[in-house]
Chains A and B, each alone.
Chain A
Amino acid sequence: MTADRSGLMTADTGASLPGPYSDLRVVELAGDPAGEALGKLMATMGADVVKVELPEGAASRHIGPMVGGARDGDPDASLNFWFYNVSKRSVIIDYQAADGMARLRGLLRRADIVITGWRPADWAAHGITPDDLRTDAPALIIANLSPFGLDGPWADMVSSDLVGLALGGPLNSCGYDDHSIPPIRPGGDQGYQLTASFGHIGVLLALLERDRTGHGQLVDVAMHDCLSVSAELANPYWFYPRVLVHRQTCRHAQPTPTQPALFATADDRYVYFALITAEQKPWQSLVEWLKSKRLAADLTDPAYDDPGYRLANFAHIQQIVEVFFLLQTASDSYHEGQQRGLPIGVLNAPEDLPGDEHLATRGFFVPVHDDAPGGPHLYPGPPIRFSAFAPAPVTRAPRLGEHTAEVLGGAA
């Protein structure tokens, strides 16, 4: 059994093939995290992703956090840019000018996929249509990841991660028990990230179709469409019993309120644990665990063997469990609970992750020689592992225009 970067238990499948996208050339014109995350997914799986930027650089270069000590306006010091643009190349083309557009079209003729992020009004402002782009590049797949898609009454509305999550529905399920507090946006650009995931699937299906037909096509992905199907149970609750779910603190939004699942621990941290008393085996595991710390109180009373009695005394049980966790550290609660077969999760902060022994054993974080002092620094590796393909190395995000000469060369 190996425990190397391939991560698989299989011993004899030496990863021999280059990354699954090693035959693909992608041109990325996107400036928001949806298109950039799609380009990153493809780049980290081996595609040659050329990010085409206007002379001032992608907007994402000017969004923080910045590398500590960076000078104001440095286009090569944004950690926002670095996060979304690893393993890509950067080319400057002023495609808002006529000769620049010709140069871009030249690049697209040699590309398999172009990632755009434009509303209908933006396409019009650039003076092109998706069909135009494909006239001299019939095999080209255009993945357009935009806020509302290329048609419909809202197609030219403007959006953001927060606005997208609001209109699309997931935000309605997120926040606190106290409904005087507004719904709270989950962190990490997840509206854009979901759009990138569907964009990725769309590109893959278009590639499979192209392998059969020889021609590419337009793949029109709207953040609003993606989010409107991504609130998990909210739609099914409307489709079937026709009820709405209501947000609760760090646990599932439900038709009616349920008990808290977030427990504070002795070290001022939290664990997630959904106390379910209906099933006998997890109940016994929990009581054994409490007993081992002499904190089971009266839960060892045989009356609690009856699920009905447990249900009737749920609030009391919840209180005992609250006290129990307040006397354990988060880490001990997590590992000991899991070792007892209970699905309990520690609320890790980002700084807790690089030291996690499981992730370290799997080699999930990889060192990247970036431009910040004190490197290399740890970056998340690709979350998809294949026994047959060697993982593509994660390389630092490109400096603005770093590969212009190399990519365009004499082809301009």
Chain B
Amino acid sequence: MGEVTGYPDQRRRPRPRNGPLAGIRVADFCWMGVGSVATRLLADFGAEVIKIEDRTRIDTPRKLPLYKGEGARNFGEEVVGADPDKGGLFNNYCRNKLGVTINMRSPEGRQLAERLIKASSVVTENFAPGVMERWGLSYERIRELRPDVIYARMSGYGHSGPHAAYRSYGPVVQAVSGLSYISGLPGREPSGWGLSYMDNQAAFYNSAAILMAIRRRALTGEGTEVDVSAVETGISLLGPVLLDVTVNGRVTRGQSYPAGNRLEHPGAAPHGVYPARGEDRWVAIAVFTDEEWDRFADAIGRPGWTRDARFATQRSRWANQDVLDERIAAWTVLRDRYEVTKLLQDAGVRAGAVQNAEDLNETDPQVEHRGVFFEMDHPVIGEARFEGVPIRFAETSADNWRSGPLLGEDNEFVFTELLGVGADEYAELASAGAI
């Protein structure tokens, strides 16, 4: 085939990949958060993930206003007409992927998509149930194109059941699954989550499901359809309180649940987040046993109040947490959050400053040592930082070869070199608005 494709910067030209997923091609219809994060993992470890986008319906992370060198904008404050290639969140989610555009509303576009599926062995999507079917891409059809295909379907509610068509995103999934309700102070509204936690967790469950299916296919030759519901994933993460309800018949609605930063089980005390010196600075402290309490009391110099009979045992400390927390806060508030962390950790007491993104990126020595973040260049954004996969292998590593694709950047490479579309046909597809 030869190097027919023009990349202004040859370093962006796709090259053979390294890693345990090298040789696996993914026709990736995912967009938004869950799907993009799920397939990023595949791309990081060597799969050739071809992200399929629609020029008339730009992927939301391209539009969220996280722009390098520009000021603070909340993520709802989209900038009309902004360059879709400068979105930082898209770059973060789509590194190591190839990017093509296909107009799935055109017959030529749908035919092209089928050619791509035929040349792939994994198909991924996270549209509302029914969208892929509307394009004719049922599991049956995709299996006709590729008999051993893995068809990974990621959705809020799963692909069956009366609420399958309900709309969701992270915060809705967290609400419906119970994760928001179980988070907060007793006697007031839930504090829930300040992030789309379930966009991450559902993505990781989907990544794992695809890896499982790839492994089993290598052993048996059989593909599969995969159905992961984010709501069900969220419920499976609720923790032991769920069995307290289904086994013991507990009713959590009421004035005493949830317990904020305190623990119901085990009866750890102190167990909280305490003010440190400075504006909105905090430090977490968790004491689980009498031995740990002894070390804690020693570390802070055994002030008189630590000898209060109410604090003599784990059980009595737990029963007297209001006054205990006041005493501890009066001690922490005079001190720097890292000073408290070091003092207590040196004594073997579980404690840690509440860190923000600046702390993690600029000063955290452990994150630095472990090499969690890394940088890659991007043609529009410039040098950008990325969140690495936080898994250290003795003998395997991520293959970070390129930052996120420009819109349609790999059209010519994928359609002509990989799929063998001729030059004339490629020009026709372009002029017909199919790509």
Contacts and interface: CB of A to CB of B under 8 A. Distances in A.
Q: Do A and B come from one complex?
A: yes
Contacts of A52: none
Interface stretch (B63-71, B100-108, B307-315, B413-421): B63-71
Contact of B357 (A41, A45, A208, A238): A238
A234 B212 contact: no
A148 B167 CA distance: 38
Interface in B35-90: 41, 45, 66-76, 78, 88-89
B168 A224 contact: no
Interface in A200-240: 200-202, 204-209, 211-213, 215, 217-222, 224-226, 228-240
B184 A380 contact: no
B286 A250 contact: no
B377 interface: no
A209 B355 contact: no
Contacts of B372: 225, 228-229
A164 to B, nearest CB: 7
B405 interface: no
Interface in A1-19: 1-3, 6-10, 12-13, 17
B387 to A, nearest CB: 4
Contacts of B345: 157-158
Given A162-B286, A166-B353, A183-B273, A362 B229 contact: yes
B367 A151 contact: no
Interface residues of B, number: 165
A190 B192 CA distance: 12
A68 interface: yes
A346 interface: yes
Contacts of A23: 219
Contacts of B92: 235-236, 239
A221 B348 CA distance: 21
Contacts of A208: 20-21, 211, 214-215, 218
Most chain A CB inside 10 Å of its own CB: which residue of B159, B171, B357, B381: B357
Contacts of B367: 224-225, 228
B386 to A, nearest CB: 8
Given A173-B195, A350-B252, A249 B185 contact: no
Contacts of B215: 20, 204, 207-208, 211
Contacts of B369: 151-153
Contacts of B357: 169, 172, 231, 234-235, 237-238, 244-245
B175 interface: yes
A338 interface: yes
Interface residues of A, number: 169
A45 B244 CA distance: 24
Given A225-B390, A348-B176, A181 B185 contact: yes
B183 A185 contact: yes
A315 interface: no
B390 A387 contact: no
B162 A358 contact: yes
A100 B196 CA distance: 45
A244 B356 CA distance: 7
Contact of A379 (B161, B207, B243): B243
Interface in B186-243: 189-197, 199-201, 204-205, 207-209, 211-216, 218-220, 222-229, 231-233, 235-243
Contacts of B288: 160
A392 interface: no
A184 B167 contact: no
A117 to B, nearest CB: 15
Contacts of B268: 160
Interface string A377-400: 111111111111100000000000
Given A209-B20, A235-B357, A353 B178 contact: yes
Contacts of B88: 236, 239-241
Contact of A217 (B33, B282, B360, B396): B396
A252 B195 contact: yes
12 contacts: A7-B160, A9-B129, A67-B248, A186-B197, A218-B394, A237-B357, A241-B69, A334-B176, A349-B252, A362-B161, A386-B224, A387-B226
Which 7 interchain pairs have the tightest Cβ spacing? A345-B175, A240-B88, A250-B192, A225-B390, A187-B182, A173-B194, A388-B224
Given A272-B180, A378-B246, 11 more contacts: A62-B266, A65-B264, A79-B240, A176-B185, A184-B184, A187-B238, A188-B237, A231-B357, A234-B356, A241-B70, A346-B175
